[in-house]
Structure 1
């Protein structure tokens, strides 16, 4: 209602007259007129003709004013009704606007809640994946730390000549022990010339043994890898060639004994990276070693060679056990023959039992037929007394 009183009613110049101001002005005007009439009526003078005329005019004016007041009241009532209608319309619109705003806020809150839930779930998944990756990174960091420790230990091992030889010997022994059966190899065996190779392998059908050497010159290779300048690297490469070829010559001179060892020996390199670099950058050294009947192998190639030797030993054992296998096959054939005889006898028993069952079925069939004939017999019922017929009931064969 108060909001309706502030609605502009008309404009006078630049000023807007509101409905409340207009009502206040009308009420003030009416009060002034009533005050003027009261003053006139209370004056104690004797009215003259002019005064009577004036009074009549005043009465007429009062009547006009009363009518005007009535019109104003009616207009005020109409204006009040309009204001109430406008207030109702404004209230309805305000309610609709509030309801629409509430619905929009509820929808926005629901969508915002869903968005926050989805975002929280995505954040949780991202954090879970991040934790998993951090766990993997931690594990990798631990692995790297362990590898660094192992590399440092390996470097310390390779820095010492004795431990370096023990390192290669240990790797070679592990590969041989994993691949060959006991008794087919010997570590640190003594040859007829007093030399003691790192390992000898006994091949089947051969008196000579195969020699495996694990004393690769790792010191020269370490110097080659640590070389910085071109000249230093060339000098280290030349030293590496010289040391490897010297070791090849030593193997041939020490371990090649006619009739006792094979004319082929294996030089074991305990590192795949060294073996790869040797084949990549020092192919001439590898070829010279081959011409001297020395095969340079890394851990993988030694495993493959041991597997080939294992297959050869297995085939030799199979050939050695061939006569035993032949005897077992003969015994198995004899057992099969006896089994066949027993099966034939069992078949004969089953045949006799079948014939007996057929005879039993024939007898059973005859018994059934005789029973059927007995069931077909019936007594004839006489129509007169037996004394009149001269005989009693008589048994008739049906059919």
Structure 2
């Protein structure tokens, strides 16, 4: 929009463009006149032409003036029309604005009423929920108080119980401590015993006696038995021939093993190991010479080791010594393997005793067979007697049934019919004869 005085003209109005075009044409004519004036000095002929052009220009200017007059009149008309249109538009907008204002006021009043109602309902619901939450909170608090009370009481009881258990455990620990102290004393006593060669040999004999007593019957072995060569065996087991009585020796030299256990360096351990092997070889030779007597004992003997550790050490690091013992018919056993060996001997003793009792067993079997035959005969006789008794019982039942039937007939007998036309009664003898028929 272009504002000229009190008038506003749109940029797309054709009249504006016509005025602009007229101004441009006038400027062009002035430029032509100036150009023609400059050329008049050069040529006289151009004056005539310029005079014709000036005439034409005057005519054009007159037309342009008339057009400008019309243009101004049109512009006034347009301005008047626009003023009246603007007034109408302003009135319409004011009317519409008042209507919209009224509608907005009505809607605001309705909205305020609805909001007030909703606020009232919300306040009511909030109050109810607050009351419910207060009740729930009160109940929850009471439940929590009860649970806390129960928990505290339970915790008190548990604490008291734990304190009691702790006191009992402390007492147990005290007892265990006293037992440990006692055990320490026992270990020291055992160490004192093992440090003495005689007492150590007695310890092995006691252990061997305990194992043999649990595995074999008391009459199948003898402790500290004296042989024909005057040597005393720690235990002589009376096995049947073959192999015959076998000796068990429990006097193993533990000094060499203790030296090996105390050895620290490699060279010291190897020297102690050789010393242990030599001591075992010497003991195997002594057992062979003392306890293997031809015609009196078995052709072998048993070397009892009172420790599993010594047995494992020999088999792990000195297997050649164990093989030499086998070659010399001296079997090396530990407490575990000794028990297994004694169980095998027990089976041998049991088998030998069963062979000794074979004759008595056969005699008892014959007597048992005769008794079975007698039972069969007596059972046959009893079956015959039972069959006869069954027949007698059947006869008794048959006679009882017939007697019952006769009693029924006598009970239902009509004496009036008999007196009217009944035949003469038969004699008692005939009646008895008919009954038997």
C-alpha distance in 2, partners of 1:175/1:101?
77
1:347 aligns with 2:383: yes
**1:191 match:** 227
Q: Secondary structure at the match of 2:232?
A: coil
Moved more, 291-300 or 373-382: 373-382
Q: 2:365 aligns with which of 329, 341, 353?
A: 329
Cα deviation digits, residues 108-160 of structure 1 (max 9, x gap): 54232122123224434444554454455445434433432222122111101
Q: 1:377 aligns with which of 410, 413, 421?
A: 413
Q: 1:319 aligns with which of 313, 335, 355?
A: 355
Cα deviation digits, residues 170-228 of structure 1 (max 9, x gap): 21122223322233222333333332222221211347421111110111111221223
C-alpha distance in 2, partners of 1:212/1:367?
91
Q: Secondary structure at the match of 1:355?
A: helix
Q: 1:258 aligns with which of 282, 294, 297?
A: 294
The answer (yes or no) to whether the contact 1:172–1:214 under 8 Å persists in 2 is yes
**1:235 match:** 271
C-alpha distance in 2, partners of 1:205/1:229?
50
The answer (yes or no) to whether the contact 1:265–1:293 under 8 Å persists in 2 is yes
1:291 aligns with 2:322: no
1:279 aligns with 2:315: yes
Q: Which has the larger radius of gyration?
A: 2
Q: 1:222 aligns with which of 258, 270, 273?
A: 258
Structure 1 pair 102–340 and aligned structure 2 pair: CA distance change class (3 A): closer
**Count of aligned residue pairs for this structure pair:** 294
Q: CA RMSD in A?
A: 3.2
Structure 1 pair 113–381 and aligned structure 2 pair: CA distance change class (3 A): same
5+ residue gaps, structure 1, are 1-95, 383-391
Structure 1 pair 146–298 and aligned structure 2 pair: CA distance change class (3 A): farther
Structure 1 pair 217–150 and aligned structure 2 pair: CA distance change class (3 A): same
C-alpha distance in 1, partners of 2:322/2:174?
42
TM-score, normalization: structure 2?
0.60
C-alpha distance in 2, partners of 1:139/1:267?
40
C-alpha distance in 1, partners of 2:243/2:315?
33
C-alpha distance in 2, partners of 1:118/1:396?
108
Structure 1 pair 142–286 and aligned structure 2 pair: CA distance change class (3 A): farther
Cα deviation digits, residues 357-392 of structure 1 (max 9, x gap): 11112212222232333345325589xxxxxxxxx7
5+ residue gaps, structure 2, are 1-131, 425-437
Q: Cα distance, 1:236 vs. partner?
A: 1.8
C-alpha distance in 2, partners of 1:346/1:315?
43
Moved more, 180-189 or 261-270: 180-189
C-alpha distance in 2, partners of 1:126/1:277?
49
**1:51 match:** none
Structure 1 pair 324–115 and aligned structure 2 pair: CA distance change class (3 A): same
The answer (yes or no) to whether the contact 2:233–2:248 under 8 Å persists in 1 is yes
Q: Secondary structure at the match of 2:229?
A: coil
**1:42 match:** none
The answer (yes or no) to whether the contact 2:252–2:304 under 8 Å persists in 1 is yes
Cα deviation digits, residues 258-315 of structure 1 (max 9, x gap): 2222222110011223323333333333233223221111112212211211111111
Greater relative contact order (CA < 8 Å, ≥ 6 in sequence): 1
**1:175 match:** 211
The answer (yes or no) to whether the contact 1:165–1:214 under 8 Å persists in 2 is yes
The answer (yes or no) to whether the contact 1:212–1:268 under 8 Å persists in 2 is yes
**2:6 match:** none
The answer (yes or no) to whether the contact 2:308–2:335 under 8 Å persists in 1 is yes
C-alpha distance in 2, partners of 1:300/1:369?
88
**1:9 match:** none
Where does 1:195-206 land on structure 2 (aligned, <5 Å)?
195-206=231-242
